[in-house]
Structure 1
Amino acid sequence: MGKRKLFTDEQVDMANNINILEYARQAGYPIEQISPKEFKIPKQGGLRIDGNGHRWNCFSTKTGGGPIQFVMYMEKKSWVEAVKQLLGLSATLDSAQSLYRPPQKPEVEKGELVLPEKNNTYKHVFAYLINTRKIDKDIVSFMVKQKKLYENSHRSCVFVGYDQDGVAKYASVRSTNTMGSSYRGDVANSDKTWAFRMDGTSDTIRVFEAPIDALSYATFFKQYGIENHDHMLALGCLGDVALEQYLKDHPEIKQIIFCVDNDKWGHQAVERWTDKYKSDYSIAHHFPKGKDWNEDLISFFKEMESREVDLELDQAEEAEL
């Protein structure tokens, strides 16, 4: 007999649709409006809340999400505690009901995705991904050939996701700046359902947060001489809408390996997803040693270079004897 769920689907849906702005105001957080479509909470490392109160993000910690993640972040609660807090199960349900805002159709329909203008070169993207991020050049070239990666007119990386008909539906931009501030974010009208992926032929899918982490993991496979046949998906966040779609389109998949960031948010997401998918799939996780897989990849090459230097010094000393 399966484990009894702590919350009904309706309760989780209610918690996910509580207005973040209203909750923050009632919780006593100072709210400042910075534009018609954006608010902020001062002294929180660039924490921004969308004008509709549905989503938030924090630039300094590179985190964000919906109301549940907001409570987890601001009040240092677990996912279960945050849901209870939002629903008012620890006190009364009335407070949650007063904040609940049923999902509504957007006033303006989502427009068509327009991909950023292409640059007439790929040199900045290649230099950044290969030299700075240490991703294998053949893997980068293959992504370019598949039109899943290109350089825009601002010299940034553009990672593209396509639907089942081969139509671009998602694009995320990552600045190639190595000094000063850098930008990363989704292109307007992107649909995360079709986030960046690397299709495979096995019955296993590996799930990442960002495209660069997926490419880094693929580089590790190549470094260790392992042929990679697994499907690889970069969610672009810690929401699993892209995974739901991918599993629907690939019934041959039997195993999910979560390879998200090694931080509080990544661990909590894996716990949540394990409970969600374990009845239909074999579930495993593989966290990086550092924060993410690219950090591990860069550290790997630094260690390799250090070993080569030590070997050269040893050989030089032996030659002098």
Structure 2
Amino acid sequence: MGKLFTDEQIAQANQINILEYARQAGYSVEKITPKEYKIPGFGGLRIDGAGRKWNCFSANAGGGPIQFVMYTEKKSWVEAVKQLLSLSQNQNNFLYRTSRDIEKETEEKGEFVLPEKNSTYKHVFAYLINTRKIDKDIVISMVKQKKIYENTHRSCVFVGYDQEGISRYASVRSTNTTGSSYRGDVANSDKAFAFSIKGLSNTIRVFESPIDALSYTAFLKQFGSENKDHMLALGCLGDVSLEHYLKGHPEINRIIFCLDNDQWGHQALDRWVEKYKPNYAVAHHFPKGKDWNEDLVSFFKEMEQRREAEATLDLESEEEAII
């Protein structure tokens, strides 16, 4: 019987940064020193500052990324490798940050500067409206509020603001529809001020990405429902922005988690239900596919196929009538 994984695949799985994996998975990662982090609730689990090794003395366990997934998620070695490889195939490049990148992050942050604006919005409009199928009026509204714009690399920039209307956070998503695709936060962004849409109700809906939040809003409009809820895009699976948003909006007493329908989303939901349920009414709404934009694109594709089928039937009926 041949090997399940090549040496290159195993090496690839072992290159994933444990700190970034833990944050993406929704674990509460706490800094002890620049060279050591911990995850509470796992019996003294420690991760080195470079994100390459971990150990838990109480359980006499430790190792690299594969062993980390095995230990924290009770997976077999094969399951752990498969999961790590699936992440690499999804182009989560931030999971491969070097120790130098981590060291830079632990240093004092520099000034946050938004990427330079392009002279046009056409690439962003084409990407969000034509490719992602987000309602045109919703996109234009976000542009007018300066929450979305196009940078000089023709990428889409999603901006988050503080209470004074000062930009404090931005994430970039390339508008490429073929080839490699980039996504990531702008340097020195403050996750506490992630992309959001202020609502009028006592409910907040929580998403992983701005595109999913906008896709959900587009669904509501498609079915004749005006969105009145607060919408927050975490930008990952950490909840620092949710904690901050709730402090600034004491009127909110209900949280609906609209996370991705994958292992990451389900694991984060389990943790956050336990965390927020004592003080909030908590519910969840998972998409049918992987995420809300995938559902939105599928919805319009099915609508188009239905229209084409109906047009074909109408044509056949007219031909029969002539004959």
Match of 2:114 in 1: 115
Aligned-partner Cα distance in 1 for 2:181–2:106: 32
Match of 1:126, as an amino acid? Answer: F
Match of 2:239 in 1: 240
Aligned-partner Cα distance in 1 for 2:284–2:88: 26
Match of 1:253 in 2: 252
Provide the alpha-carbon RMSD of the alignment.
3.1
CA contact (8 A) 1:45 1:60 kept: no
Match of 1:170 in 2: 169
CA contact (8 A) 2:53 2:64 kept: no
Secondary structure of the residue aligned to 1:21 is: coil
Q: What residue ranges of structure 1 are gaps of 5+ in the alignment?
A: 1-8, 31-43, 49-56, 67-103
Deviation at 1:318, TM superposition (A): 1.0
Specify which of 54, 77, 88 is matched with residue 23 of structure 1: 54
Aligned-partner Cα distance in 2 for 1:64–1:240: 21
> For the structure 1 residues 207 and 143, does the alpha-carbon distance in structure 2 shift closer, same or farther, using more than 3 Å as the test?
same
Secondary structure of the residue aligned to 1:252 is: coil
Aligned-partner Cα distance in 2 for 1:119–1:196: 20
Match of 1:27, as an amino acid? Answer: G
TM-score under structure 1 length normalisation: 0.73
Aligned-partner Cα distance in 1 for 2:171–2:262: 22
Q: What residue ranges of structure 2 are gaps of 5+ in the alignment?
A: 1-37, 56-60, 67-80, 96-102
Correspondences of 1:1-321 after superposition (within 5 Å): 11-12=40-41, 18-19=47-48, 20-23=51-54, 26-27=62-63, 58-61=87-90, 108-321=107-320
Aligned-partner Cα distance in 1 for 2:211–2:201: 22
CA contact (8 A) 2:39 2:46 kept: no
Aligned-partner Cα distance in 2 for 1:286–1:146: 27
Secondary structure of the residue aligned to 1:248 is: helix
Secondary structure of the residue aligned to 1:12 is: coil
Match of 1:122, as an amino acid? Answer: Y
Deviation at 1:112, TM superposition (A): 1.4
Aligned-partner Cα distance in 2 for 1:12–1:107: 23
Deviation at 1:62, TM superposition (A): 5.6
Aligned-partner Cα distance in 2 for 1:294–1:207: 14
Secondary structure of the residue aligned to 2:41 is: helix
> For the structure 1 residues 16 and 260, does the alpha-carbon distance in structure 2 shift closer, same or farther, using more than 3 Å as the test?
farther
CA contact (8 A) 2:39 2:45 kept: no
Aligned-partner Cα distance in 2 for 1:16–1:233: 30
Match of 2:209, as an amino acid? Answer: A
Deviation at 1:17, TM superposition (A): 5.2
Match of 1:92 in 2: none
Paired residues in the alignment total 257
Match of 1:37 in 2: none
CA contact (8 A) 1:65 1:238 kept: no
Aligned-partner Cα distance in 2 for 1:141–1:59: 34
Pick which of 215-224 and 16-25 moved more: 16-25
Deviation at 1:10, TM superposition (A): 8.7
Pick which of 14-23 and 296-305 moved more: 14-23
CA contact (8 A) 1:45 1:61 kept: no
Residues 249-276 of structure 1 show CA distances to partners (whole Å, capped at 9, x for unaligned) of 0011111000010000100100100000
